[in-house]
Chains A and B, each alone.
Chain A
């Protein structure tokens, strides 16, 4: 399967040049860009690991691209995403978030059904990779 979280997962994987343009867009808006990675891509896993702090004062997309590539060197088999934070009043949240690295194989998720109360079902989505191995050894 292909994990389709993030703003651009239905497009072909982005080139570095394309990533640079999107980062420049975010920086132009005054958003702080940061890099995060995980080997637990469950849709409810909000907190991917931080690759350093959000780059609040960086205005050059090349600096972000450098961090992405450093992160890729260490976590080539993980998911890596770029997120942009908008600190302005009434937003104060992520405004753009897209995946820039994926493991070569994406086994995906299975749906566990717990049948309760007659026909009702309680559903649990489980990651094959996260269920099979501990963190850091999954992909």
Chain B
């Protein structure tokens, strides 16, 4: 590969006109990223006839200081420091027209504590750049120095568990269904039945805000009656994610305050409220002892297709920094997109304090998380009690498993559906701790637990044949490394 010319006179470099990005200082295969640099890996698909290295340099340029022509005002700045540098370009295994471009950005390019600024810089303009057919941000590495400017999750897994007094198993939730149309009074009934039956949480759906059939105060009032009744019935702390998403930040704060006044332990927002709003409500949650649940509404519009957009692993990283306590991160076995290894990569990003580079999970960089609290991943969408062994094996204890249809659709009622899920979960955790091979013996463990739990027997019968076996669109492209014998 050709290296960028090492030295050229400044007069020559800044002569008015158009110059290749590679020649402008945005490409240097000898550059060694600094510990404080922010690193990105993009998947680039250049237009036919466009050189991959020039395309990669253009991405570096357009996502940092460059414009399409030479500007003399560069010379008023320490411009070399501010230029992002593409330092590595690899062909994508199995995709002859695509390359992985590694680009390093100096930390001074970014405002502290601002996901808005990170995203405006990295994905602001460059995704529409004409010389590229498509562009995808696959992964980012944030330096510790930059991470430390963020608050991180307002509560985090450890404190959430201590507050809820729930340890040693995944938490259980359900989204109230039907998601639209229930009155406040009927909606609260679903919450009460599900929580009394054994769930830890119920949840508003992403588009439950304040509509004609149920205004938000009605929902909050009836839901909290249901939560507290279920707490008294079981002696356990219970919660319902009250969705406070609204058209303005003022409305969001008003709804959050009301949730707090009524004694809720948790509120919820949608990803589509925007990064500033998310960071704001996270600070509010830290001040008000509130757990913050994030529904990733909208993400699939840009995260699902491999060739273009932003990988969800980047969004997950941003959201842990922005400060959410829960984030929907996929189920692998349920109804929504999710390759198992890729999904595990998202869970690692949410929960681990150090995430090693692991190409088979789509993770391109070592990422230390600098003791930012852990975000609880949420598995939700088309899962049921009969998959408990697979879910526990894939995701471990520190997640929320949400069975919406798998609770409310139970043939003998919502309480029975909730009990079936709780019994299945506890039986599976119990068996795993005893040292049993739950993947192999899972169905048998469930059948045994069902002998003393009729609702579980009914659930296993109703949903026994439900699987969602479709090919994933978002899978990692990598060549397995061969370990020397």
Does B94 interact with chain A (Cβ within 8 Å)?
Answer: no
Does A8 interact with chain B (Cβ within 8 Å)?
Answer: yes
Chain A residue at smallest Cβ distance from B421: A10
Does B263 interact with chain A (Cβ within 8 Å)?
Answer: yes
Chain A residue at smallest Cβ distance from B161: A93
Within 8 A of A (CB), among B192-248: 198, 221, 224-225, 228-229, 231-237
B158/A93 in contact, CB under 8 A: yes
Residues of B within 8 A of A110 (CB): 232
B433/A120 in contact, CB under 8 A: no
The stretch among A57-65, A69-77, A94-102 that forms the contact with chain B is A94-102
A81-119 Cβ-contact flags toward B at 8 Å (1 or 0): 001100001111111111000000000111100000001
A46/B231 in contact, CB under 8 A: no
B370-392 Cβ-contact flags toward A at 8 Å (1 or 0): 01001000000000000000000
Contacts A10-B422, A108-B233, A108-B235 hold; do A94 and B167 have CB atoms under 8 A apart? yes
A43/B235 in contact, CB under 8 A: yes
Residues of A within 8 A of B353 (CB): 89-90
Contacts A95-B168, A121-B262 hold; do A10 and B434 have CB atoms under 8 A apart? no
Chain A residue at smallest Cβ distance from B263: A123
Does A50 interact with chain B (Cβ within 8 Å)?
Answer: no
Chain A residue at smallest Cβ distance from B231: A125
Q: Nearest-CB distance from B94 to chain A (Å)?
A: 37
Chain A residue at smallest Cβ distance from B423: A10
Residues of A within 8 A of B343 (CB): none
Contacts A10-B426, A91-B158, A93-B158 hold; do A4 and B228 have CB atoms under 8 A apart? no
Residues of A within 8 A of B168 (CB): 7, 84, 95-98
B374/A90 in contact, CB under 8 A: yes
Does B427 interact with chain A (Cβ within 8 Å)?
Answer: yes
A97/B167 in contact, CB under 8 A: yes
A125/B198 in contact, CB under 8 A: no
A94/B235 in contact, CB under 8 A: no
Chain A residue at smallest Cβ distance from B429: A7
Chain B residue at smallest Cβ distance from A93: B158
Does A11 interact with chain B (Cβ within 8 Å)?
Answer: yes
Does B419 interact with chain A (Cβ within 8 Å)?
Answer: yes
B263/A122 in contact, CB under 8 A: yes
A43 to B167, CA, bound (A): 14
A-B contacts, CB under 8 A, total: 106
Counting chain A residues whose Cβ lies within 8 A of the other chain, the interface size class is 35 or more
A108/B232 in contact, CB under 8 A: yes
Does B470 interact with chain A (Cβ within 8 Å)?
Answer: no
Residues of B within 8 A of A121 (CB): 221, 224-225, 262
Contacts A7-B167, A108-B235, A121-B262 hold; do A22 and B430 have CB atoms under 8 A apart? yes
A43/B426 in contact, CB under 8 A: no
A18 to B431, CA, bound (A): 10
Contacts A95-B168, A121-B262 hold; do A11 and B430 have CB atoms under 8 A apart? yes
Which of the residues B162, B261, B263 comes within 8 Å of A94, measured between beta carbons? Answer: B162
B433/A22 in contact, CB under 8 A: yes
A4/B162 in contact, CB under 8 A: no
Does A52 interact with chain B (Cβ within 8 Å)?
Answer: no
Does A1 interact with chain B (Cβ within 8 Å)?
Answer: yes
B371/A21 in contact, CB under 8 A: no
Among B228, B261, B371, B435, max chain A CB count under 10 A is at: B228
A11 to B426, CA, bound (A): 7
Residues of A within 8 A of B435 (CB): 21, 25
Within 8 A of A (CB), among B155-175: 158, 161-162, 165, 167-169
Does B452 interact with chain A (Cβ within 8 Å)?
Answer: yes
Residues of B within 8 A of A44 (CB): 237
Residues of A within 8 A of B167 (CB): 7, 83, 93-97
Which of the residues A5, A89, A93, A125 comes within 8 Å of B162, measured between beta carbons? Answer: A93
Within 8 A of A (CB), among B411-436: 419, 422-423, 426-427, 429-430, 433-435
Does A55 interact with chain B (Cβ within 8 Å)?
Answer: no
B158/A123 in contact, CB under 8 A: no
Among B232, B234, B374, max chain A CB count under 10 A is at: B232
A22/B232 in contact, CB under 8 A: no
Given contacts A11-B427, A93-B162, A111-B231, 7 further A-B contacts (CB under 8 A): A1-B234, A4-B198, A18-B430, A43-B235, A93-B158, A94-B161, A97-B165
Of the A-B pairs whose beta carbons lie under 8 Å apart in the complex, a sample of 28, sorted by A's number, is A3-B235, A5-B165, A7-B429, A8-B426, A8-B430, A9-B426, A10-B419, A10-B426, A11-B430, A18-B430, A21-B435, A25-B434, A43-B165, A43-B231, A43-B235, A44-B237, A46-B165, A84-B168, A90-B371, A90-B374, A92-B158, A94-B167, A108-B232, A111-B232, A120-B261, A121-B224, A122-B263, A123-B228
Residues of B within 8 A of A (CB): 158, 161-162, 165, 167-169, 198, 221, 224-225, 228-229, 231-237, 261-263, 353, 371, 374, 419, 422-423, 426-427, 429-430, 433-435, 449, 452
Which 5 A-B pairs rank lowest in CB-CB distance, beginning with the nearest? A96-B168, A7-B168, A123-B228, A25-B433, A111-B232
